[in-house]
C-alpha cells in the first residue's frame, strides 16, 4: 500500500508550469510597473469636464484610458496567475490584495468618463461618431451609449466604484475557504492506495470502478461542506444580494436582465433554453437507467454518474499524448491554428499542467491582448475527461490568440457568451476525431459515453444551474429570505426534476449548490449551454462543408459585434430554439447508439 501526496508548488518541474516571464521576468519588475500605475493613473483628472468639447478631446481621453487598461491587464494577470498557482503563497496574496486596493482608486478616478459621455446630446454624439478622430472607437462608444439609461451621475458612479471591492469580497472568501482552509482527508482508491481527497482529486475518485470507493468519496467530501454549510450559504446569499443591489442601483428590472444587458442577449433566449431542455428530459432519464443497468446497480446515485460505463477500456493519457490528440482533432481548422496551439502547449509553456498543494481547483484560460493565452489545469492522466478539458481551454486560448491579432485592443475582448462556443467547438471536433480513428467497439462506446456525459454536464446540468440562479435571484427580488434552507429547498426541487423519479438523490447533494464557483459570478452558466448548442451547429458546418472560414472569422471577430449578431453571421441563430433542440437531439441519438453497443 502506498500513499500519494499532493506535491508542493516548489516540487513541480518548471517545464510543467506556465512561464510568466512574457508578463514580467521578475517580481521586482511587476513592482516597478505597479509603481508606474500608482503614479500615472491620476493623470485622467485633466480630462474631467472636457470630454464633450471635441472628438479629439474625447479620443485623447480614451487613448489614455486604454494605456492604463493595458497596464492593469498585465499587472492583474500576473498577480492572479501567481495566486491561482498557490493560494497559500503569502507574497502572491499580498501582491494581489495590493493591486485590488489600487484598482478601487483607479476605478474611482475613471468613474466620471462614462457619465460625461452619456451627457453629450444625441445630435452632437452622432457628429462625434462621424469624426475621423474617433474612427477607432466607434464600436465601443456605441456599446457604451446603450448604457445611458443605466449610467448614474459622476458622484454616484464614484460611490459604486469605491464600494466594488467590499461588495464582491464574498467571492474571495469562497475561494480561500474551499481551496485552502477546507480539508477533505485521505481515502483509499480501488487499488488500496491512500490518496488525498481534494477539490481536484474528487473527480478522479468518482471515476473509480468500485462503487464503494465512489460512495465513500462522495460522503467524505460533502461532510466537509456540511461542516461549513452556514458560512457558505451566507457567502452565496451576499453574492446574490450584491447582484440585486447593482441591478437596482443601475435601474435594471432584475439582476438577470442586468447581467444579460451588456451582451444584448434577450431574456427570452435564457428562458427558451430552460423550457427547451425541460421538454427534453426523457432521453436523460433513459440514459440514467441505461447507466444503472450497465453498471449493475440496484439504484443509481449522483456519485455513479461519472465513472465510465465501458469497463474494458482503461485509459492513461500522458500530457504529450493528450496534446497530440487535440492537435490532430483540430486539423480541419488549418495549419496556422494547429501550429500556434501546438507550440503554446508543448514548448511555449502556456499551460500550468498539474495539481499542487494550494493550487486553485478546476481549469481556466486567461489571456490578454499582448500576453500568451495562459491555461491552468490540474491534469490527471487517468481522467480521460481531462483531455477534453485541455481541448476546451485551448479553444478559449486560441479564440484570444485570433481576436488579439485581428482586432484593435478596444474591440478584441469577446464576451463569455461567445467564449463558450469556441471551447465546446473544440470538444465536438475531438469527439468526431476519436470516433473516426478507432475500430474498437469498446473504445467507440467509451467515446460515445464521454460525449453523452459532456452533453449532459454542459447542456442539461448547466441549464439546471441557470434555473437555480434565476430562482434564487428572483427570491431575493421578491423579498423572500435567501438562507441555507431556502437554497437547499430550491436545489432539491431542481434535482428531483432534472434527475427523474428513478434516481436516488442523497441528502448531501442539496449542498452542491454551495460549492459551484460560478454561482459567485451569476448568470454565467447558461452560456455553457447556449455555447455548446452553437458549437455543435458550427462543428457540423465545418465538418460537412470542409470550409472553416466562417468559423475562423467568428474567432477573429472578438468583441467587435454583439454575440447574437456574431453567431448569426457565422451561421447560427441563437434567437431560435433550433440549435438547442438539435443538440438535445444529438444527445438522444448518442444514447441510442451507446445502448445498441453495450445496453
Tell me the CA distances in angstroms from 513 to 25, 412, 487, 519, 574, one per residue in order.
40, 34, 7, 8, 28
Identify whether 586 is part of a domain.
Answer: yes
Task: Give the per-residue pLDDT at 183.
Answer: 92
Average of per-residue pLDDT across 241-254: 95
How confident is the model over 506-534, as pLDDT tens digits?
Answer: 999 999 999 999 999 899 899 999 999 99
Using alpha carbons, list the distances in angstroms from residue 489 to 134, 484, 486, 495. 53, 9, 5, 10
Say if CB 282 and CB 584 are below 8 A apart.
no
Q: Work out the angle at residue 512's Cα, subtended by the Cα atoms of residues 508 and 513, and round it to the nearest 5 degrees.
A: 130
Measured distance CA(466)–CA(86) in Å, rounded: 30
Q: What is the distance, to the nearest Å, from the Cα of residue 541 to the centroid of all Cα atoms in its chain?
A: 25
Question: Cell for 591?
Answer: 444514447
pLDDT tens-digit map of 159-193? 888 888 788 778 888 888 888 889 999 998 888 88
- Phi, psi (degrees; rounded to nearest 5) at 375: -130, 135
- 306 and 435 housed in the same domain: yes
Q: How would DSSP label each residue in 71-90? A: HHHHHHHHHHHHHHH-TT-H
Least confident of 230-239, 313-322, 349-358, 541-550: 313-322
Of 68, 69, 58, the closest CA to residue 133 belongs to 58
State residue 188's pLDDT score. 87
Nearest residue to 307 (alpha-carbon basis) of 298, 296, 318? 296
219 in a structural domain: no
Long-range contacts of 419-422 (CB under 8 A, 24+ apart): 419/527, 419/531, 420/527, 420/528, 420/530, 420/531, 420/532, 420/535, 421/531, 421/534, 421/535, 421/538, 421/554, 421/567, 422/395, 422/396, 422/398, 422/535, 422/554, 422/555
Cell of 470: 434565476
Alpha-carbon gap, residue 257 to 260, rounded angstroms = 5
453 with 555, same domain: the answer is yes
Closest CA to 4 of 234, 188, 227: 188
Whether 157 and 264 share a structural domain: no
Active site residue 331: no
Domain contains 490: yes
Q: What is the C-alpha to C-alpha distance for residues 322 and 32, in angstroms, rounded to an integer?
A: 39
Count other C-beta atoms under 10 Å from residue 369's C-beta: 20
Judge whether 373 and 345 are in contact, CB under 8 Å: no
Distance CA 118, CA 135 (A): 18
Tell me the pairing of strands 374-376 and 351-352. Answer: parallel
pLDDT at residue 259 tops 60:
yes
Task: Please name the residue that has the C-alpha cell 456605441.
Answer: 142
57: CATH: 1.20.140.70
Burial of 227 (0-12, 13-18, 19+ CB in 10 A): exposed
| Contact indicator for 409, 556 with CB cutoff of 8 Å | no
DSSP letters spanning 469-480: HHHHHHHHHHT-
Kindly name the residue from 355, 393, 427, 467 that is annotated as catalytic. 393
pLDDT in tens, 113-133: 998 999 999 999 999 999 999
Q: Is residue 494 part of a domain?
A: yes
Q: Which CATH number do you get for residue 476?
A: 1.10.1370.20
Residue 384's pLDDT is what?
82
163 in the same domain as 55: yes
Partners of 3 in the β-ladder:
194
In the predicted model, is pLDDT for residue 362 greater than 90?
no
Distance between CA atoms of residues 311 and 468, nearest Å: 34
Q: First vs last Cα of the chain: how many Å apart?
A: 36
Which phi-psi region, left, alpha or beta, contains residue 139 (left: φ > 0; alpha: ψ -120 to 50)? Answer: alpha
The predicted structure's pLDDT at residue 2:
52
* pLDDT confidence bin for 258, thresholds 50/70/90: very high
Q: Quick check: helix, strand or coil at residue 365?
A: strand
Least confident of 53-62, 176-185, 364-373: 176-185
Residues 593 and 463 in one domain: yes
H helices of 317-384, in order, are 319-329, 335-346
Instruction: Note whether residue 390 is domain-resident.
Output: no
Does the pLDDT at position 453 exceed 60?
yes
- What are the respective helix, strand and coil percentages of the chain, to the nearest 5? 70, 5, 30
Contacts (Cβ under 8 Å, ≥6 apart) of 470? 256, 270, 274
- Beta-sheet pairing, 374-376 with 364-366: antiparallel
Query: Mapped to the 3 state alphabet, what secondary structure does 499-518 carry?
Result: HCCCECCCHHHHHHHHCCHH
**Sign of torsion, CA 472 478 482 487?**
negative
Residue 309 located in a structural domain: yes
Q: Please give the pLDDT value at position 313.
A: 75
- Band of the pLDDT at 394, cuts 50, 70, 90? very high
Quick one: cell of 379? Answer: 491534469
**50 is in which domain, residue-wise?**
7-167
State the Cα–Cα distance between residues 366 and 372, nearest whole angstrom: 9
Three-state DSSP state, 574: coil
On whether both 137 and 34 belong to a single domain, the answer is yes
The domain boundary, picked from 167, 186, 217, lies at 167
**Mean pLDDT across the chain:** 93
Among 110, 112, 148, 132, residue whose Cα is nearest residue 54: 132
β strands within 319-460, DSSP E:
351-352, 364-366, 374-376
Q: How many domains does the chain contain in total?
A: 2
Supply the pLDDT for residue 3. Answer: 58
The residues, ordered by sequence, that sit 6+ positions from 307 with a Cβ below 8 Å of its Cβ are: 206, 207, 208, 209, 214, 295
- Which residue, of 151, 167, 183, is where some domain finishes? 167
The residue out of 122, 146, 167 marking a domain boundary is 167
Count CB neighbours of 268 within 10 A.
10
Query: 399 lies in a domain?
Result: no
Q: What pLDDT was estimated at residue 1?
A: 44
Does 455 share its domain with 313?
yes
State the CB neighbour count (10 A cutoff) for residue 521: 15
Q: Is 434 a residue whose pLDDT tops 90? A: yes
pTM of the full structure:
0.83
For the cut 80, the answer to whether the pLDDT of residue 436 exceeds it is: yes
Average pLDDT over residues 344-357: 94
> Is residue 525 one of the residues assigned to a domain?
yes
The number of residues in the chain equals: 599
Amino acid at each position: 500500500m502506498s500513499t500519494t501526496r499532493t506535491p508542493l508548488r516548489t516540487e513541480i518541474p518548471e517545464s510543467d508550469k506556465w512561464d510568466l516571464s512574457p508578463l514580467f521576468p521578475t517580481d521586482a519588475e511587476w513592482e516597478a510597473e505597479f509603481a508606474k500605475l500608482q503614479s500615472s493613473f491620476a493623470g485622467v483628472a485633466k480630462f474631467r469636464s472636457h470630454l464633450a468639447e471635441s472628438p479629439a478631446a474625447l479620443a485623447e481621453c480614451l487613448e489614455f484610458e486604454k494605456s492604463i487598461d493595458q497596464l492593469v491587464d498585465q499587472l492583474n494577470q500576473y498577480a492572479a496567475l501567481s495566486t491561482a498557482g498557490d493560494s497559500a503563497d503569502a507574497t502572491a496574496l499580498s501582491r494581489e490584495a495590493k493591486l485590488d486596493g489600487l484598482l478601487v482608486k483607479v476605478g474611482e478616478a475613471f468613474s466620471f468618463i462614462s457619465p460625461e459621455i452619456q451627457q453629450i446630446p444625441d445630435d452632437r454624439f452622432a457628429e462625434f461618431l462621424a469624426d475621423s478622430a474617433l474612427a477607432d472607437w466607434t464600436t465601443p462608444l456605441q456599446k457604451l451609449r446603450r448604457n445611458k439609461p443605466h449610467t448614474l451621475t459622476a458622484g454616484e458612479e464614484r460611490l459604486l466604484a469605491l464600494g466594488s471591492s467590499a461588495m464582491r469580497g464574498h467571492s474571495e472568501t469562497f475561494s480561500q475557504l474551499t481551496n485552502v482552509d477546507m480539508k477533505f482527508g485521505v481515502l483509499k482508491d480501488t487499488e488500496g492506495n491512500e490518496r488525498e481527497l481534494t477539490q481536484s482529486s474528487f473527480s478522479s475518485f468518482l471515476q473509480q470502478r468500485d462503487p464503494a470507493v465512489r460512495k465513500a468519496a462522495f460522503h467524505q467530501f460533502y461532510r466537509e461542506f456540511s461542516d461549513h454549510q452556514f458560512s457558505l450559504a451566507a457567502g452565496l446569499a451576499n453574492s446574490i444580494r450584491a447582484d440585486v443591489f447593482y441591478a437596482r442601483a443601475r435601474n435594471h428590472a432584475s439582476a438577470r436582465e442586468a447581467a444579460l444587458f451588456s451582451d444584448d442577449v434577450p431574456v427570452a433566449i435564457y428562458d427558451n433554453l430552460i423550457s427547451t431542455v425541460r421538454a427534453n428530459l426523457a432521453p436523460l432519464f433513459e440514459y440514467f437507467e441505461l447507466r444503472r443497468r450497465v453498471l449493475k446497480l440496484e439504484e443509481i446515485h449522483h456519485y455513479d454518474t461519472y465513472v465510465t460505463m465501458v469497463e474494458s477500456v482503461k485509459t492513461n493519457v500522458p500530457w504529450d499524448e493528450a496534446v497530440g490528440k487535440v492537435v490532430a482533432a483540430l486539423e480541419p481548422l488549418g495549419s496556422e491554428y494547429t501550429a500556434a496551439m501546438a507550440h503554446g502547449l508543448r514548448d511555449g509553456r502556456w499551460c500550468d499542467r498539474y495539481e499542487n498543494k494550494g493550487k486553485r481547483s478546476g481549469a481556466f484560460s486567461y489571456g490578454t491582448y499582448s500576453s500568451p493565452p495562459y491555461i491552468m489545469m490540474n491534469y490527471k492522466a487517468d481522467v480521460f475527461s481531462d483531455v477534453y478539458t485541455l481541448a476546451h481551454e485551448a479553444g478559449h486560448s486560441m479564440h484570444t490568440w485570433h481576436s488579439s491579432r485581428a482586432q484593435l485592443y478596444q474591440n478584441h475582448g469577446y464576451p463569455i457568451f461567445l467564449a463558450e462556443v469556441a471551447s465546446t467547438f473544440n470538444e465536438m471536433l475531438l469527439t468526431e476525431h476519436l470516433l473516426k480513428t478507432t475500430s474498437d467497439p469498446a473504445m467507440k462506446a467509451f467515446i460515445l459515453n464521454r460525449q453523452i456525459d459532456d452533453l449532459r454536464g454542459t447542456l442539461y446540468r448547466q441549464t439546471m444551474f441557470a434555473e437555480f440562479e434565476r430562482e434564487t435571484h428572483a427570491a431575493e427580488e421578491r423579498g423572500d429570505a435567501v438562507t441555507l434552507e431556502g437554497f437547499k429547498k430550491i436545489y432539491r426541487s431542481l434535482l428531483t426534476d432534472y434527475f427523474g423519479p428513478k434516481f436516488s438523490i442523497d441528502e448531501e447533494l442539496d449542498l452542491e449548490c454551495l460549492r459551484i464557483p460560478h454561482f459567485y459570478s451569476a448568470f454565467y452558466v447558461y452560456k455553457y449551454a447556449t455555447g455548446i448548442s452553437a458549437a455543435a451547429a458550427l462543428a457540423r458546418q465545418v465538418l460537412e462543408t470542409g470550409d472553416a472560414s466562417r468559423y475562423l472569422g467568428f474567432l477573429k471577430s472578438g468583441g467587435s459585434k454583439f454575440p447574437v449578431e456574431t453567431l448569426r453571421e457565422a451561421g447560427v441563430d441563437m434567437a431560435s430554439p433550433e440549435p438547442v433542440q438539435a443538440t438535445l437531439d444529438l444527445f438522444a441519438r448518442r444514447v441510442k447508439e451507446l445502448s445498441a453497443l453495450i445496453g
